[in-house]
Amino acid sequence: MPLIVEAILVSIGMLLIFALGFVAIFLLAITMSPIERSLSKVIWDATMPKRQLPLPPKGSFRDFSKKH
């Protein structure tokens, strides 16, 4: 087999292996996306400070209007 044909076949083979590896990693990332999203939500919720509920007003509107 001539040297140039062998070099072309080796180059095509290397590009094919690279493309298959890229597709495999891409499919793995798509498959793991829901798991990563749920873990990220769990971690985000765990690190968020808890909101304090607003305190109810001590007086009523009538009390306010009497003062002012």
| Model pLDDT for residues 18-58, shown as the tens digit of each residue | 999 999 999 999 999 999 999 998 888 888 777 776 766 66
54 assigned to some structural domain: no
Q: In total, how many domains does the chain have? A: 1
User: What residue has token string 């990693």?
Assistant: 25
Domain assignment of residue 27, yes or no: yes
**Count of CB atoms situated within 10 Å of the CB of 32:** 11
Domain assignment present for residue 38? The answer is yes
Q: Does residue 53 lie in a domain region?
A: no
pTM: 0.54
DSSP assignment letter at 56: P
Residues 6+ apart with CB under 8 A from 24: none
- Give the Cα separation of 47 and 61 in Å (integer): 38
